[in-house]
Structure 1
Amino acid sequence: MASRNRSPLRSRTLPFTLWAVHSDATSLGLLGTVLLGTVLLGTVLLGVAGCGDDASVVKEIQVQRQARLQTETKQDHLGEVHRLLTRLIELNPDESQRQISYHLNRWLESAPLPEQATKPALFKTIADRLPVASRDELLLSDRFVRSDISHLRDAYLFGAIAKWIDSPRSDDPLLENWLAEQQTKLGESHANQLRSACRFFDWTVRNVALEPFMATPGMQLTPPEMPLGMVFQGAGYRQTDYETVWRGTGDALQRTGVFTQLCRQAGVTAALLAVPSAETGELAPWAVGVLIGSDVYLFEPALGVFVPGPNQVGIATLADARTDASVMRRLNIPGFFDYPFSKQEVQQNIALLNVLPVGMSSRMQHLESRLTGDRRMTVYSDVDEIAHKLDAASGIAGVRIWDVPLLAEVYHTALEQAAQRDPMLGFWYYSRWAIMDANVESSRLFSLARWRHLHGEFDSDDENHIEGARPLYLSQRKPEFEIADLRIDVNLQMAYGIRRELGMPTELYDRQVQQAQNMIRLGKQTATYWLSLIQYDDGRYDTAETWFRKRVLDDSQLSHWVPAARYNLGRTIEHLDEQEQAVELYKTSGDIQEHGNRIRARLLLKSEAD
């Protein structure tokens, strides 16, 4: 009897033996054919009878294979994708990307794209920013690639944020009565969309501390050369939307990115409005327009305030700004600030859509159509349809894809590569947000706290073994005596990745300890500020006031969060009916958002007088 490891070979050669016998039989008579067939049949039967083990093995293999195929067919690949996205911060980045790509493509095998992918017409407005070879892969690929995962991560996270902040607790008190009136004027559906947009804008302004358009690195560096005409630390593109919401700080363009991402997840159409130069055609962004029905409502991220409507009531529409000169004029603060745009200059606007090429692809459209229930998120934008709706609005002279989000992706990659080549740049690049990004236990816990915070999971859920953002942030608030003792505290050294190698000079070791101490203090300041924001978003305004006033703004704890904390303190005490104190805070000279804060102070005084 043949051994078992020969059975596959036998199963492959048997058909050829039958073919050879049949060929010879054609030249014989009927008797010869019958005899040959009888001999062959007997041989086969003897083989089967004598090799029962082989037959059972083949059958076992077939059963196992069938079971495996059935299991893979039944496996909920999209469920696995969602599960991985929810735990992304806890997983190895490379491994999670690989697994998500695997499950997406396995799902595609059972649910292929319904038709051949095509490029949307609006893609041509961004095509020149992409290498020719990349265009087809981004838009037309019928397979998910690893670079798609960051897009899915963003959609998931902004969707998670939008869900918990779209609630009455997030309403701006200045708009409460006006929004109630819009229920009758606009109808319930449109009024709810406008209310959601107001909540998203308000959260963005409070949670993304404003930075200047051009940021300075804070240390002497040789600026690296950047592609596509970008400059080091340039406006808008120096952070992606994800980095902006993750770090809680950004310039006005980056605030725009966060705001429009939140709107998209709620099905609200929002676009950056820019005025084209009559001489050069260069675009000058000035506000975000939110399309509600046929009207475009105006929000100003640089000022951190909605554009007040006629008579400083409610929110102005683009039609208001184009017909009523007082709307734009009231964005001036006489004697302090002049707004750079007037009624005449905002007559014609280009609407810029915050959509990456992957977000226009057919594979994302197909994926979104299959996401239901808790898995639902917006991963696809029908940019041509959106452009058609915006084009119909008065004052919109054209629609394009905004290039800043794409440039931010390119900038991120280029800067990371430059940081690997230049040690000084590398130190600056990796140390800025080491409190969350470093490969040490304290940073892992801090990033987990931030992830929980952005999900609105403030308190621990013991039943599901989820530690909330509040206790996780509190664990980062090391007392000063403990920070000072870092040099002799071995356990704390291990938590912050400090290791004194054999033969390490004392000077180098001391420098390592000092850097870690700076990191711990920065982490403490950041955790304290974010805890204060949690108190506000949780409706604990008395507690929030204490945290902002006595912990973040205390002279002994001053940090780069001070201007944002002062603004948020003002917003907090508005809820405590301390409007006069809030107005004084908004008038603080020198704060980066002073212009917009003074507009809010004026609106607050008007609301008190009415």
Structure 2
Amino acid sequence: MASQTRLFRRHRTLVSPYHIIRLAVAPLLLLAAIGCSDDATIVQKIQVQRQTRLQTETKQDHLGEVHSLLTRLIELNQDESRRQITYHLNRWLDSVPMPENASQPKLLKTISDLLPSERVDELVLGDRFLRSDVSHLRDAYLFGAIAKWVDSPQSDDPLLTSWLAEQEEKLGADEANQLRTACRFFDWTIRNVALEPFVAPPALQITPPELPLGMIFQGAGYRQTDYQSVWRGTGDALQRTGVFTQLCRQAGITAAMLAIQSTETGQLKPWAIGVLVGENVYLFEPALGVFVPGPDQIGIATLAQARSDAAVMRRLNIPGFYDYPFSKQDVQQNIALLNVLPVGISSRMQHLESRLAGDRRMTVYTNVDQVAERLDAAAGIAGVRIWEVPVLAEVYHAALDQAAQRDPLLGFWYFSRWAIMDAEVESSRLFSLARWRHLHGQFDNDDEASLKGARPLYLSQRKPEFEIADLRIDVDLQKAYGIRRELGMPPEVYDRQVQQAQAMIRLGKQTATYWLSLIQYDDGRYDTAETWFRKRVLEDSQLSHWTPAARYNLGRTIEHLGKDEQAVELYKHTGDIQEHGNRIRARLLQKSESD
């Protein structure tokens, strides 16, 4: 971004091998020039001063610098911040060397067909931090930040409150708290990641690029990384799984995608997320957006219950509307798929995590062999593998980025979809900052910290319609959205620029309005949230791609206001992508009223 400057100018002079050699050789040359005289003491003094400076820089709190950079990552130049983070990590590694004899986890062989062996060795056994590691650290930091504020009573699902209280006596406080935390994370994920179809072709007539590893353009799961899914607030069922399992990892909860393996082709068919608490695997269904109800539609079903009680799976049907594709017989044996990347099981991340404490603590390493052993011991788990989707997402993202550079039409679609946050203009910078604050649970201004909250930042994106219409004559607004009328620019080109910017402003306004409504809910302001969802998102003149998710969230909002009958009607709305699961929630809500 043109307005940004290089960060941390005080670090521009780095200690390189050249500097060290010069420090060592310079005193010797000086000593040879002056001979063995009293001036030798001057040389010694200079040498001591330089050595002291080196030692001071060596003792610098490099992990503190890394944490500081991660907390403000969205405000910094991305290339420079990655360079700085990698530098500080490797300087820290110089002072705290890694243990020797690192070895590859056994489970790594389950994705051996996706990555070349030399790349795997670099990612897993490499003894230096890579710039690509920064994305993994960013994810761990951000999902950890979300987990901290979401794991609170404010995030409890009212349908589970009484049942979870009963589990404390059955499971004990520790396991009951783990289960409660998982429920909060799942509920937040479903409310905040609007469901998309598994395959989402673009509206434009784009020639699909050739992609590696048999991937298809805009394919299920891998078309977004976990970070992109939570950042954009949209995703298919597999991407919802990625967000949920990332949150669980930061809370020390074992969660995995469960898949049924075809006896004919060996193909895996994901169907639910299993959360391991004690010896039980609790079931959550990301495509439906609901937990799998237990026997008699009470609480959350375990895998053991789904395998023994046919009614558990049968009640996922909505007679006359939807049939669930799997039955008791289908879920007898499951493959557990772990949402990890090779970098997340590397020896350097294990070493780093062992040194993170206090506010810097976050989970950056997973002992997959140990997790696999625990999951494999659970009834109904026939094997454990590393999930291929997160690995494919990294490959897909890199391949599509390159293809977009070559194909102008693909490039326009690829870079314009989320220009409201990604474009290098002031309005997008403020929007991305608002989203960053939102995901940190920083809703309002903090005057003492000079921190502007998500709520006022989102409000600044809600331009009135007359202002959007006047974009052609509003020079200040044109600058904010990167419109420049160069000398000699044809009128039709300028008009197209203005129209594209107007579309971007309207999309930004719709998105900011929807996310503001979610903030009102998460802040416990249910009356205000109802008003925002009804009058600002779901009005006929404001309808957008957020409409189905807003309708669901309106239902969730008015449940808290005692308007259960209205909520049931919203959940039964025909044609919403999550209608199947919404109708299950409507049924559970009606049952809770009658009990």
Query: Is this a same-fold pair by TM over 0.5?
Result: yes
Q: Following superposition of structure 1 onto structure 2, how do residues 478-517 of structure 1 map, counting pairs within 5 Å?
A: 478-517=463-502
For residue 10 of structure 1, report the CA deviation from its aligned partner: 8.5
Distance in 2 of aligned mates of 1:332 and 1:450: 37
Q: Is 2:33 aligned against 1:48?
A: no
Decide whether aligned partners of structure 1 residues 232 and 48 sit closer, same or farther in structure 2, where only a CA change above 3 A counts.
same
SS class of match (2:258) = strand
Q: Which ranges of structure 1 fall in alignment gaps of 5 or more residues?
A: 18-42
Decide whether aligned partners of structure 1 residues 607 and 489 sit closer, same or farther in structure 2, where only a CA change above 3 A counts.
same
SS class of match (1:407) = helix
1:160 to 129, 145, 159: 145
Distance in 2 of aligned mates of 1:504 and 1:64: 60
For residue 115 of structure 1, report the CA deviation from its aligned partner: 2.3
TM-score between both structures, scaled by the size of structure 1: 0.92
Aligned residue type for 1:507: E
> What does the per-residue CA deviation read over 1:251-270, in whole Å, with 9 as the maximum and x for residues that have no partner?
00000000000000000000
> What does the per-residue CA deviation read over 1:506-546, in whole Å, with 9 as the maximum and x for residues that have no partner?
00000000000000000000000000000000000000000
Distance in 2 of aligned mates of 1:10 and 1:157: 48
Distance in 2 of aligned mates of 1:472 and 1:482: 18
Distance in 2 of aligned mates of 1:351 and 1:164: 28
Q: Is 2:246 aligned against 1:261?
A: yes
Decide whether aligned partners of structure 1 residues 138 and 10 sit closer, same or farther in structure 2, where only a CA change above 3 A counts.
closer
Q: Which residue of 2 aligns with 1:28?
A: none
Q: Is 2:348 aligned against 1:363?
A: yes
Q: Which residue of 2 aligns with 1:328?
A: 313
2:28 to 11, 28, 42: 11
2:177 to 174, 185, 192: 192
Q: Is 2:307 aligned against 1:307?
A: no
TM-score between both structures, scaled by the size of structure 2: 0.95
Distance in 2 of aligned mates of 1:389 and 1:217: 41
Distance in 1 of aligned mates of 2:27 and 2:477: 66
Distance in 2 of aligned mates of 1:588 and 1:488: 43
> What does the per-residue CA deviation read over 1:172-226, in whole Å, with 9 as the maximum and x for residues that have no partner?
0000000000011000000000000000000000000000000021111101011
> What does the per-residue CA deviation read over 1:84-117, in whole Å, with 9 as the maximum and x for residues that have no partner?
0000000111101100001101111111112221
Equivalent residues of 2:201, 2:217 under 8 A apart: no
Distance in 1 of aligned mates of 2:246 and 2:187: 14
Distance in 1 of aligned mates of 2:585 and 2:27: 85
Q: Following superposition of structure 1 onto structure 2, how do residues 338-357 of structure 1 map, counting pairs within 5 Å?
A: 338-357=323-342
Q: Which ranges of structure 2 fall in alignment gaps of 5 or more residues?
A: 1-21
Q: Is 2:113 aligned against 1:96?
A: no
SS class of match (1:280) = coil
Equivalent residues of 2:190, 2:240 under 8 A apart: yes
Q: Is 2:578 aligned against 1:589?
A: no
Q: Is 2:423 aligned against 1:412?
A: no
> What does the per-residue CA deviation read over 1:108-160, in whole Å, with 9 as the maximum and x for residues that have no partner?
11111122211000000012100222011000001101010000000000000
Distance in 2 of aligned mates of 1:161 and 1:240: 17
SS class of match (1:275) = strand
1:520 to 489, 496, 505: 505
Equivalent residues of 2:445, 2:451 under 8 A apart: yes
Distance in 2 of aligned mates of 1:369 and 1:534: 35
| Identity %, equivalent residues | 79
Aligned residue type for 2:172: G
SS class of match (1:143) = coil
Q: Is 2:434 aligned against 1:456?
A: no
SS class of match (2:214) = coil
SS class of match (1:346) = coil
Q: Which residue of 1 aligns with 2:13?
A: none
Aligned residue type for 2:253: V
For residue 63 of structure 1, report the CA deviation from its aligned partner: 2.8
Q: Which residue of 1 aligns with 2:17?
A: none
Distance in 1 of aligned mates of 2:508 and 2:128: 41
Decide whether aligned partners of structure 1 residues 64 and 579 sit closer, same or farther in structure 2, where only a CA change above 3 A counts.
same
Q: Following superposition of structure 1 onto structure 2, how do residues 419-568 of structure 1 map, counting pairs within 5 Å?
A: 419-568=404-553
Aligned residue type for 1:48: S
Distance in 1 of aligned mates of 2:28 and 2:94: 29
Q: Is 2:202 aligned against 1:217?
A: yes
Aligned residue type for 2:75: E
Which has the larger Rg? Answer: 1
Aligned residue type for 2:28: S
Decide whether aligned partners of structure 1 residues 499 and 321 sit closer, same or farther in structure 2, where only a CA change above 3 A counts.
same
Distance in 2 of aligned mates of 1:12 and 1:529: 69
> What does the per-residue CA deviation read over 1:535-580, in whole Å, with 9 as the maximum and x for residues that have no partner?
0000000000000000000111110000000000000000000000
Q: Which residue of 1 aligns with 2:380?
A: 395
Q: Which residue of 2 aligns with 1:37?
A: none
Q: Which residue of 2 aligns with 1:243?
A: 228
Q: Which residue of 2 aligns with 1:35?
A: none
Distance in 2 of aligned mates of 1:10 and 1:229: 61
Q: Which residue of 1 aligns with 2:304?
A: 319
For residue 376 of structure 1, report the CA deviation from its aligned partner: 0.4
Distance in 2 of aligned mates of 1:371 and 1:607: 44
For residue 62 of structure 1, report the CA deviation from its aligned partner: 1.3
Distance in 2 of aligned mates of 1:69 and 1:118: 34
Q: Is 2:371 aligned against 1:386?
A: yes
> What does the per-residue CA deviation read over 1:297-356, in whole Å, with 9 as the maximum and x for residues that have no partner?
000000000000000000000000000000000000000000000000000000000000
Aligned residue type for 1:285: P
Q: Following superposition of structure 1 onto structure 2, how do residues 79-90 of structure 1 map, counting pairs within 5 Å?
A: 79-90=64-75
Distance in 2 of aligned mates of 1:180 and 1:10: 73
> What does the per-residue CA deviation read over 1:223-273, in whole Å, with 9 as the maximum and x for residues that have no partner?
101110000000000000000000000000000000000000000000000
SS class of match (2:188) = helix
Aligned residue type for 2:37: V
Q: Following superposition of structure 1 onto structure 2, how do residues 92-241 of structure 1 map, counting pairs within 5 Å?
A: 92-241=77-226
Q: Which residue of 2 aligns with 1:40?
A: none
SS class of match (2:213) = coil
For residue 59 of structure 1, report the CA deviation from its aligned partner: 3.1
Distance in 2 of aligned mates of 1:533 and 1:11: 67
> What does the per-residue CA deviation read over 1:469-522, in whole Å, with 9 as the maximum and x for residues that have no partner?
000000000000000000000000000000000000000000000000000000
For residue 65 of structure 1, report the CA deviation from its aligned partner: 1.4
Equivalent residues of 2:533, 2:550 under 8 A apart: yes
SS class of match (1:218) = coil
Distance in 1 of aligned mates of 2:120 and 2:570: 49
Distance in 2 of aligned mates of 1:259 and 1:224: 30
> What does the per-residue CA deviation read over 1:421-450, in whole Å, with 9 as the maximum and x for residues that have no partner?
000000000000000000000000000000
Decide whether aligned partners of structure 1 residues 271 and 60 sit closer, same or farther in structure 2, where only a CA change above 3 A counts.
same
SS class of match (2:337) = strand
Distance in 1 of aligned mates of 2:567 and 2:390: 35
Q: Following superposition of structure 1 onto structure 2, how do residues 17-56 of structure 1 map, counting pairs within 5 Å?
A: 48-49=37-38, 52=39, 55-56=41-42
Equivalent residues of 2:434, 2:457 under 8 A apart: yes
Decide whether aligned partners of structure 1 residues 9 and 230 sit closer, same or farther in structure 2, where only a CA change above 3 A counts.
closer
For residue 73 of structure 1, report the CA deviation from its aligned partner: 2.6
SS class of match (2:260) = strand
For residue 9 of structure 1, report the CA deviation from its aligned partner: 7.3
SS class of match (2:409) = helix
Aligned length: 573
SS class of match (1:244) = helix
